[in-house]
Chain A
Amino acid sequence: EDQVTQSPEALRLQEGESSSLNCSYTVSGLRGLFWYRQDPGKGPEFLFTLYSAGEEKEKERLKATLTKKESFLHITAPKPEDSATYLCAVQISGSARQLTFGSGTQLTVLP
């Protein structure tokens, strides 16, 4: 069965304390891996897409990486405004346009 697992469920960091969020996947074939950010009471906002192992994407303090079994979202020197839930999703080969989402990591950055 195709599965996407995110860890940890929740993470509290001090401002400036770098860390990583994990998204591991067990799928029959990966077409793409997506990272979204979701603020409380809002819909998810697209951050990155990764398509092949070894690929990396960066945006401000965020960097996403991909291996054959997992993806990491590295957060460097986070600020309180980075506090949000980060969602990982995969598009599986043969699944047309659907995405399968993990349950998310709730990140809190304390000033």
Chain B
Amino acid sequence: DVKVTQSSRYLVKRTGEKVFLECVQDMDHENMFWYRQDPGLGLRLIYFSYDVKMKEKGDIPEGYSVSREKKERFSLILESASTNQTSMYLCASSPTGTSIQFFGPGTRLTVL
């Protein structure tokens, strides 16, 4: 079974803090994705990566950055957290040759 894990299920941070969300997959997938999910808005793509050290902006990259130093790990960074970044963050991975994405359990981030 594909396993995608995220470092925290729940996180509470203060405005202005730097926040790191980590995602690890154990199936040697080339592609990894970060989404945020908000009520009524569905999943929106923040960034994705199709190889180590490669990254592409998604639909809503502002206020976020990413890092992929190893194939299995994809980190999402909030440089200076703001209250409008309070959301559920979902990480996903997919192998080359298919667009089926496998999701982690999510991190619910609250920024106070």
Q: Do A and B interact?
A: yes
Interface centre among B4, B31, B42, B90 (most CB of A within 10 A): B42
Which of B40, B45, B100, B105 is A46 in contact with, Cβ under 8 Å? B100
Mask, A57-85, CB within 8 Å of B = 1, is: 00000000000000000000000000000
Mask, B79-112, CB within 8 Å of A = 1, is: 0000000000010101000011111111000000
Determine how close the nearest CB of chain B comes to the CB of A67; give it in whole angstroms. 20
Mask, A22-64, CB within 8 Å of B = 1, is: 0000000001101010000111111001000000000000000
- Inter-chain contact A46/B102, CB cutoff 8 Å: yes
- How many residues from A make CB contacts under 8 Å with B? 24
Interchain Cβ contacts within 8 Å, total number:
54
Which of A32, A45, A98 is B45 in contact with, Cβ under 8 Å? A98
Q: Is B58 an interface residue (CB 8 A)?
A: yes
- Inter-chain contact B106/A43, CB cutoff 8 Å: yes
A-B contact pairs, 14 of them (CB 8 A): A4-B42, A34-B99, A42-B106, A43-B104, A44-B90, A45-B103, A46-B100, A46-B101, A97-B48, A97-B50, A99-B101, A101-B44, A103-B40, A103-B42
- Inter-chain contact A103/B41, CB cutoff 8 Å: yes
Q: Closest chain B residue to A31 by CB distance?
A: B99
- Inter-chain contact B58/A104, CB cutoff 8 Å: no
- Inter-chain contact A87/B101, CB cutoff 8 Å: no
- Inter-chain contact B43/A87, CB cutoff 8 Å: yes
- Inter-chain contact A98/B58, CB cutoff 8 Å: yes
Q: Closest chain A residue to B6 by CB distance?
A: A43
Determine how close the nearest CB of chain A comes to the CB of B39; give it in whole angstroms. 8
- Nearest 6 CB-CB pairs, A to B? A43-B103, A103-B42, A101-B43, A101-B42, A91-B99, A44-B103
Known interface pairs A43-B4, A97-B48; A102-B42 also in contact (CB < 8 Å): yes
A49-B99, A97-B94, A98-B33 known; 8 new pairs, CB 8 Å cut-off, are A43-B90, A87-B43, A91-B99, A96-B50, A96-B56, A97-B99, A99-B99, A100-B45
